[in-house]
Structure 1
Amino acid sequence: MSIALAGSHFPIAVRHEPLRVMVVDDSAVIRGLVSRWIGAEPDMEVVASLRTGLEAVNQIERIKPDVAVLDIEMPELDGISALPRLLAKKRDLIVIMASTLTRRNAEISFKALSLGASDYIPKPETTREPAAAEIFHHDLIQKIRTFGAKVRRAPASPSHTRPFTAQPTLAPAQEPTQRPVSHPVASALPTQANVKTRPFSPHAPRVLLIGSSTGGPQALMSVVTELGAVIDRFPVLITQHMPPTFTTILAEHLARSSKRPAHEAIDGEAVKPGTIYLAPGGRHMRVVRHGADAVIALDDGPPVNFCKPAVDPLFTSATEVWQTGTFAAILTGMGSDGMRGGKDIVAAGGNVIAQDEATSVVWGMPGAAANAGICSAILPLIQIAPRIVRLFAGDRS
């Protein structure tokens, strides 16, 4: 896979016709709901509503969709089997995996995302629950529109395929749920042009916080793999927008990648160096001071920035515990979560860095922080871990 770099010599083709969406699900109810939702959006159209992965594979060259919403469990050919065959026939196809939240389906979704799917979204257990159906509706439309913006801004060269990501991504299943605007999101996405950075604080970092969303799990794996010395000496706390079950599996992946203990945070446990603490799906993770210790505080409060868990509660609470020693990295993701908490970190004398636009699957969260002027560095993914290691070793530049 390749990435459309800023300043690329390829011409940019801004498309104005509706996004072509193919819905593939063996449930007639889900197909009907999703098709109606997409059909109600002025910048999208349903070009096919199919029951099996085999139908999708057989018809994709005729249909030529931009986006496929692909169920995992289907007769004849399931989603994980259909995925590589669909991408082989249309390499720039955006595939959003959709399935109910079970351990098995979450594992399959992680595999699908590593094989080239762009994102994942959980289907509600029942469409009779209005709140769950509305979240599914909003999240799905937002994901289609956001990834569709990449299609609209893709280079015109036919050989420059899958331009929006540098690697397979394990993407989150929980995203902001506000009603999307009706116009294409391409015009609203932040850009890195003319963004200014601030000097690094002279204060020594005492904790590493990371916030991420769409494309975050793969980015997290890349970063933690190289953070061994930092993890051994400092606590590492991560909030990734994901539902329950997915965060359990993500913690297992982080432990394998870092070769250090990693687990979903437990309410009331002391925060110590040598461990990665991951916010559990469906609960906000904060930290509080309890005597001489920093302690995890989980809560089941309302979504923040339409997300649960959200990054801002972690960032803001950390400043009350570590003050000037708070250091945060904001990685790829939709929305602006982390920006307000990042402002609190900077105001307390800490530091914030962000992933750059070119290597982000979606430059929403890092872009919001960068454009707010709170970042001391905006770096390609490959440079983030080495810079963190140097900063935590005493380099203040």
Structure 2
Amino acid sequence: MVVDDSAIVRGLIIQMLEKHVDIQIVARAANGEVAVAELGRTEVDVIVLDLEMPVMDGMTALPLLLAKRPGVQIVVASTLSKRNARISLEALQQGAADYVPKPETGSLVNAEEFERELLSKVVALGQRGPGRTQTPAARPILAAQPRKSTVRPGIIAIGGSTGAPPVLLQIMAGLKDAVTQPILITQHMPVTFTALLAEQLARAGARPCAEGKDGEPILPGRAYVAPGGWHMTVGRSGVTPVIRLNQDPPEHFCRPAVDPMLRSAAEIYGNRLLAVILTGMGADGAEGCRIAAQSGGRFAVQDETSSAVWGMPGAAAKTGLAEAILPAHQIANWIKEIAK
């Protein structure tokens, strides 16, 4: 179902979605009130939801839609204003599965990147919709590797995408006052969103957390979020580890991407790197985890049951090198046990 008050935008989004053979548009709505009513009579797996609408806006409709059809996957579509970025992050905490930054109406016709991102997210989330019968148990069980090292980590690196922001908040809250190591975070997010995410993580974890700045030293007790549009890596200034930012080509269609962060962290920290891959589409982070493990580092992944999309953690798990495959609520304790 596509929910947007603009008939033009609604039509363009439907045209984009209908290009994919696995997507069927079963409903459309001009505001949240109509969407809630439509959901009562139509089976829907995924909803693309606008935020700013008359009668009933997206944030008001969100909990009603989730209650009306448990398990429905909601993708928030909003323009890249600071206000909408803040509301989108709130929507993720309230149960939305993901977000897509929406171009201005006049730019939507030729918005190839928006179309690619929208299609991939709707298809991936549709596999977990309430109308699907596929379950995590249908996949081969992947075994974690036993603990290989007793070296205390010097840095913690976390990567995620679809569905990861609420898990990041949970992890940071769980690590409050418990670990002193610096924390690097790469979350697939556009400009504006990452700065707001850093603010939320700082509050949740009661530790300084901000977008990384090129050349700043990596210090104990701090957390650094990769800024939207930039790869965040680790380098050296003399003997001091520092943040390095670059605008090299996207990896896995993403910038920031997780792999550059992990590759560089493994080079600088070696067996003192501890990494975690959270829910997300695609395979970003898997190669970085492989390199981390080959350098003596360690990593865990979020399990399929608690993941919105088991793409990134699944790909990392399939390397056969993950030390643990954990539900979201156990990740912070795993980090604390190793980092202490």
**Is TM-score (shorter-chain normalized) higher than 0.5?**
yes
Among residues 138, 163, 167, which one is paired with 1:219 in the alignment? 167
How far apart in 1 are the matches of 2:84 and 2:107? 22
Shift of 1:304: 0.8
Label 1:84 to 1:286 Cα distance change in 2 as closer, same or farther (>3 A): same
**CA separation of 1:59 and 1:390: change in aligned 2, threshold 3 A:** closer
Letter in 1 for 2:154: R
Shift of 1:389: 1.3
TM-score normalised per structure 1: 0.80
Query: Residue 316 of structure 1 aligns with which residue?
Result: 263
Deviations, residues 350-375 of structure 1 (Å, cap 9, x unaligned)? 11111112222211111111111121
- Checking the alignment, whether the CA contact within 8 Å between 1:203 and 1:349 is kept in structure 2 is no
8 Å contact kept, 1:195–1:371: no
Counterpart residue identity of residue 141, structure 2: A
Runs of 4+ in 1 over 6 A off after TM superposition: 186-190
Flag the 1:189–1:108 CA change in 2: closer, same or farther, 3 A: farther
The aligned residue for residue 188 of structure 2 is 241
Query: How much does 1:193 deviate?
Result: 0.8
Deviation at residue 128 of structure 1 after TM alignment: 3.5
1:208 and 2:173 matched: no
Distance 1:312 1:126 in 2: 33
Q: Matches of 2:16 and 2:167 in 1, distance apart? A: 31
Deviation at 1:197, TM superposition (A): 2.0
Equivalent residue pairs, number: 340
Shift of residue 152, structure 1, vs aligned partner: 6.6
Question: 1:67 pairs with 29, 46, 52, which one?
Answer: 46
Contact kept in structure 1, 2:6 and 2:30, CA below 8 Å = yes
Is 1:251 aligned to 2:198, yes or no? yes
Do the aligned residues in 2 keep the contact of 1:198 with 1:374 (CA within 8 Å)? no
CA contact (8 A) 2:92 2:166 kept: no
CA RMSD in angstroms, aligned pairs only: 2.3
| Distance in 2 between residues matched to 1:88 and 1:196, nearest whole Å | 36
Counterpart selection for 2:251 from 296, 304, 310? 304
Matched residue, 2:86: 107
Alpha-carbon separation, structure 1, partners of 2:105 and 2:155: 41
Give SS of 2:174's match: coil
Q: Which residue of 2 aligns with 1:32?
A: 11
**In structure 1, how many angstroms separate the alpha carbons of the residues matched to 2:38 and 2:7?**
19
| Deviations 1:54-109, CA, capped at 9 Å, x for gaps | 32233322333222211111122211122223333323332211110111111211
Q: State the partner residue of 1:13.
A: none
Per-residue deviation at 1:36?
1.3
Structure-2 separation of matches of 1:235 and 1:190: 38
Residue 50 (str. 1) matches residue 29 (str. 2): yes
The question of 1:81 aligning with 2:60 is answered yes
Q: Please state if 1:290 is matched with 2:237.
A: yes
Q: List alignment gaps of at least 5 residues for structure 1.
A: 1-21, 156-185
Q: Structure 1's 228 and 65: CA in aligned 2 closer, same or farther, altered over 3 A?
A: closer
CA distance in 2, matches of 1:352, 1:209: 9
Structure 2, unaligned runs of 5 or more: none
CA gap of 1:264–1:135, structure 2 versus 1, over 3 A, is same
Q: Secondary structure at the match of 2:234?
A: strand
Contact 2:44 / 2:131 at 8 angstroms: preserved in 1? no
CA offset at residue 190 of structure 1? Answer: 9.7
